Amino acid sequence: MKKINLDHQKTSLVTAQEFDSFAHELTPELKRINKILAQGYEAAYETAYASLNVPSDHAILESVQAVIESKKALEPSALVLVGIGGSNLGTIAVHEALNGLFYNEKNPTIKLYCADTVDTDKLNDQRLLVEQELKKGKNIILNVVTKSGSTTETIANFELFLNLLKKYKPDNYQSSVVVTTDKGSKFAAYAKGQKFSVLEIPPRVGGRYSIFTAVGLFPLGLLGINITQLCAGARDIMPQCVDMNVAKNPAATSALLKYILYQQHIMINDLFVFSTSLISFGLWYRQLMGESIGKEFNRNNQRVEVGITPTVSVGSTDLHSVGQLYLGGPRDKFTTFITVEQQKTDLKVPNMPEFEPFVAQIQGKKFSTIMDAILKGVQLAYANGQRPFNTVTLPVLDEATIGQLLQMYMVEMMYLGYLFDVNPFDQPNVESYKQETRRILENE
């Protein structure tokens, strides 16, 4: 299996001396994680690091595969995924990376609709599209993903589409519903009482770390993704991500670079993806970093108000929107370029000499060659301008590679949490808006 590559030498502007001086700070956390992994995934489920061994839990994969096969037998034309944040961002990221933005070549018969907002106009558009499928006599699968069953947006949206199913499939709507929730939750009990298919999330696996549980595996498998290979990629990179030699550990190296630069007041991390298929991966990473590291209090309950601000840029599109800011504006950003070596297609610019006076040296060249030239040009401009960056290179966009990328960044976030002395697994301040929302609705 080809590995993803992280290159930061000479471009991160972090000296070897700086890197080495901070590297030892991660030793206790590396020892802790290695000890947990050595005890096996069942022991890991009793810790905050429960997500680390999920890709090795074959029971999860088997239970998900069984439900996938039962729902495929219905020959569904659409999947309605109801969830928000960690409940759907990972699925969207992997789906778009592997199946493309416009056409699901692996399973072209199943459309994906993500109900992740209570924006009434968007929801109504989705409702009308799903209703068209049902009117034609086709089946849909309704997959609601919620750990607790108490998220306002998720439950409201689930009710909307469940009501639609009941209208058009009154005698057998139950067979079209899959509930993914915490083991032993009230919502799981409700779902079982309704005779819905239920897939359980290990209780201590947080939403943004849950892509390798049923949260991501069920919808992805239904959409034609090889979830076995996805998990294999995650398992394959784990030895590197827990290597005690930090310089050989891509997750630890990435965390250290961001932490060291944060001490130098570089507090924005821009994920600059040079593949439009990875835009939603950038949005998944934005949540992962924002919720994991942005904290008001540290582990000792001292007010610290720390956090790296994650942004997402798209090459080469955003060179014509924010490129000027990045190359000429404040020096408060660390950029991670993500690029793909092997493209799926081999499209070329038509050989039309009459266009040579307008843009020279592009006639008959591959579009990938032009994109590579743009990327190298951007990186040289960053280097010449002393703008810090590193580069993550993916050998190809396939399940195993994406599995590696997801796992590397989830482990990176655990290291960052340790370095910042904050809990990377909770999101206490998010609860404040939920409480206020409930209070307002109670008084409406």
> Model confidence over 208-236: pLDDT tens digits?
999 999 999 999 999 999 999 999 999 99
Q: Does 42 score more than 80 pLDDT?
A: no
Residue-level pLDDT at 442: 80
Q: Please give the share of the chain, as a percent, with pLDDT higher than 70.
A: 98
Pairing of strands 389-396, 5-7: antiparallel
Distance between CA 241 and CA 301 in Å, rounded?
29
pLDDT at position 173: 96
pLDDT (0 to 100) of residue 106:
67
Question: What type of residue is 258?
Answer: K
**What's the mean pLDDT in 237-264?**
97
What span, in angstroms and rounded, lies between the C-alpha atoms of 101 and 98?
9
Q: What is the CATH number of domain 5-35+231-430?
A: 3.40.50.10490
Q: Residue 368: pLDDT above 70?
A: yes
Q: Are 392 and 412 in contact (CB under 8 A)?
A: no
Structure tokens at 159: 């009710």
Does the pLDDT of residue 430 top 70, yes or no? yes
Residue 246 tokens read as 């930090």
pLDDT at res. 436: 81
Higher-pLDDT residue of 299, 346: 299
| pLDDT score at 101 | 80
| Rounded Cα distance, 343 and 341, in Å | 7
Residue scoring higher pLDDT (392 or 444): 392
Query: Which amino acid is residue 164, in one-letter code?
Result: L
Beta pairing partners, 199: 180
- On the question of pLDDT at 105 being above 80, the answer is no
Q: How confident is the model at residue 433 (pLDDT cuts 50, 70, 90)?
A: confident
Q: Is the pLDDT of residue 72 over 70?
A: yes
Residues whose CB falls within 8 Å of the CB of residue 156, separated by 6 or more in sequence, listed in order: 118
In this model, does residue 439 exceed pLDDT 70?
yes
pTM: 0.95
Q: First CA to last CA across the chain, in angstroms?
A: 56
Mean pLDDT of 43-49: 88
Task: Write the DSSP symbol of residue 230.
Answer: H
Residues 280-328 pLDDT 10s: 999 999 999 999 999 999 999 999 999 999 999 999 999 999 999 999 9
Residue 432: the pLDDT is 78
In the chain, list all ranges with CATH 3.40.50.10490. 5-35+231-430, 44-225
Least confident window among 82-96, 100-114, 251-265, 342-356: 100-114
Judged against a pLDDT cut of 80, whether residue 99 lies above it is answered with: yes
Residue 254 has pLDDT above 90, yes or no: yes
Nearest residue to 33 via CA among 307, 230, 240, 214: 240
82-97 as b/e, with b when 16 or more CB fall inside 10 Å?
A: bbbbbbbbbbbbbbbb
Query: Is residue 55 within 8 Å of residue 231, measured between CB atoms?
Result: yes
Q: How far apart, in whole angstroms, are the C-alpha atoms of residue 423 and residue 426?
A: 6
The number of CA neighbours under 13 Å toward the Cβ of 387 is 25
pLDDT bucket at 34, cuts 50 / 70 / 90: very high
Positions annotated as catalytic residues are 291, 320, 434
Closest by CA position to 203, among listed 344, 54, 96: 54
425 burial via Cβ count (<10 Å: 0-12, 13-18, 19+):
buried
Mean pLDDT, rounded, for 376-394? 98
User: In CATH, what is the architecture of 44-225?
Assistant: 3-Layer(aba) Sandwich (3.40)
Position 416 pLDDT exceeds 90: yes
pLDDT, residue 435, reads: 79
Beta bridge partners of 393: 5, 339
Q: How far apart are CA 387 and CA 302, in angstroms?
A: 33
